Structure formats: structure tokens, C-alpha cells
Structure 1
Amino acid sequence: LSGAPDKAHARRYLVKAEDNVPKAARSPNLLATRFIKLIGKLFAAEARSETWTAERRRRLRRRYSARVLDAIEKLMLEQTPGVVPQSLLGKALTYLHGQWPKLIRYIENGNWPISNNPCENSIRPFVIGRRGWLFADTVDGANASANLYTLVESAKANGIDPYRYLTWLFQRLPLAKTVDDYDALLPWEMPADLR
């Protein structure tokens, strides 16, 4: 979720470090640029495999992306000791190093996204709207709002029109009695012909 480690965030910090170097002094061997190019290879592989099955994408990640990640890690471990920790590049490398085990997990599963940007973008309206939601002045009201927002965003994340999903859900919810009944009401359980 928001604030979770992310290769897009790591890249963003490195781009800031690169932008801090005067254009006349930049070269392809600039350390930040080398990291950015390697991270770019990871995103290029993801773009290429966007329409593939999860298993095929996982194999690509294990064969190709893992090697690129190894190169990034090696470069990070070699270069970090020589970088001023409080510089923009130092902060970028500190983030990269501190989040490394979490940043590389996506290669384990072809369904996991390389970036959490879509998740962050989906919750951004709620983060921005916080101030306007002061009417939720009780814990129960805040919980109800959070539950409703979760249902709406889960429907969207599953390619389902939220209005159709909520209509379908609220018609069936009073009939649910068991855990299995409630599980059958999750967005991805909605029949495709009703979406």
C-alpha cells in the first residue's frame, strides 16, 4: 500500500539524484544513471510480458529479471560505501538497500505487480479527500466508510463496475449466513455475465 517499498519509488529517488548533477557533468557512467538504466530493464521486461500468463511471466522474472536484480544489488553493495549518506544519491541508495528484500519479492509470483503505483493511485482520492470526511466523527462511521471504500476499490481492481457490484452484493448480503456465503460475495466471485 501507500508507503510500501516499490521499484518506482527507488527509481524516482535515483532520478532526483541524477537531476541534481549539472547536465554538463552527466555521462552514461554516472552512478545514478547506471541504476536507472538497470531498473528500466526490469520495467521493460514487465511491459513485454504484460499480456502473458502469470506462470510465463514468473519464468521470465526468474531467468531475466533476477539477473538484472543481481546486477543492481552488486552495484549497490560496491558503491554505497563511497557515497555520502546525506546526499540525494546516498539517500536513494539507503532506501534501495533498506528495502531490498521487499523490492525483489515480486519475482516469486507472476501475478504480483512490479510496482504498487496502481494501488497508490486507487487510494489517492481517499487520501486527498480525508479533510472533507470529517463527518465520520465516530469509530463506527470511519469503519463503515473504510469498508465501503474497500468494496468499491476491490470491484474496480477486478474490472467490475462498482455500482453493479454493490447492487448485486446488497441483494444477496441479507441471505448470507456462513463464512462460505460471505466469501461467495467477494467481487471476484460475481458472475461474469453480471459485471
Structure 2
Amino acid sequence: MFLDWVEKSQFYGKNELAKAAEYTLNRVNGLKAILDDGRIEIDNNPAENAIRPNIIGRKNWHFSVSEAGAKANSICLSIAETAKANRVDFYQ
């Protein structure tokens, strides 16, 4: 098995193979979870794509008139994105 090989192999130094082995071993629990449970997504691209419009506008929101306005904006956007993720027409 790949993980057994990585664990038993001796990689030294700062070379790319040693870095890759360390990266794998540092994330072995997550990798095993993905392999054991097919329902777990291997990446979070759908979640990142869902919040991207909010992140792009973040610089503009730095200039909210008040803290209460910024909080209200974040609540509304949170509700909108949750509705969108659940296929609910937010504007209705």
C-alpha cells in the first residue's frame, strides 16, 4: 500500500520527494477518510466557488458606513448563499 511505503521509506533533506512524503504523512488522516467514505469530497471547490462573489466584493465592504451595516450585509449574504446552495429563489 502507498501509505505503508511512504511511512517505511527514508527520505532525507529538502528534496522534492522528501517534501512530498512529509506533505502526505501530515495529511494521512484526511486521505484515509476520503478513501474510507465515498461521500466525502476530495476538494472544496464547490464551496469556494459559492463564496467567491462575496470575497471579490470584500474590499468594498471595508467601507461600510457602520458596524451594524456591515453585520446586516453579512447576514443577508449568508442567507442568500444558503438559499442558493439549497436551490431556493432568494428573491422570491
Task: Calculate the TM-score normalised by the size of structure 2.
Answer: 0.66
Q: Does 1:160 align with 2:88?
A: yes
Among 74, 77, 83, the alignment partner of 2:4 is 74
- For 1:162 and 1:89, how far apart are their aligned partners in 2? 49
Give unpaired runs (5+ residues) of structure 1: 1-70, 165-195
Partner of 2:69: 141
Amino acid in structure 2 at the alignment position of 1:82: F
Q: Is the 8 A contact 2:64 2:70 kept in 1?
A: yes
Q: How many residues matched? A: 91
Amino acid in structure 1 at the alignment position of 2:56: I
| 1:152 shift after superposition | 1.7
Q: Is the 8 A contact 2:11 2:18 kept in 1?
A: no
After superposition, the Cα gap between the structure-2 partners of 1:72 and 1:142, relative to the gap in structure 1 and judged at 3 Å, is farther
SS of the counterpart of 1:149? Answer: helix
- For 2:15 and 2:66, how far apart are their aligned partners in 1? 44
After superposition, the Cα gap between the structure-2 partners of 1:151 and 1:104, relative to the gap in structure 1 and judged at 3 Å, is farther
| 1:155 shift after superposition | 1.7
**1:129-158: CA deviation from partner (whole Å, max 9, x where unpaired):** 211222235443333222222212212222
Q: Does 1:105 align with 2:30?
A: no
SS of the counterpart of 1:135? Answer: coil
Whose RCO is larger (CA < 8 A, sep 6+)?
A: 1
Q: Percent identity?
A: 32
RMSD: 2.7
Amino acid in structure 1 at the alignment position of 2:4: K
Partner of 1:19: none
Give unpaired runs (5+ residues) of structure 2: none
SS of the counterpart of 2:27? Answer: helix
Q: Does 1:116 align with 2:30?
A: no
- For 2:71 and 2:26, how far apart are their aligned partners in 1? 33
- For 1:147 and 1:92, how far apart are their aligned partners in 2? 40
Matches within 5 A, 1:7-86: 71-79=1-9, 81-84=10-13, 86=14
After superposition, the Cα gap between the structure-2 partners of 1:159 and 1:134, relative to the gap in structure 1 and judged at 3 Å, is same
Q: Is the 8 A contact 2:11 2:17 kept in 1?
A: no
User: In proportion to residue count, which structure has more helix?
Assistant: 1
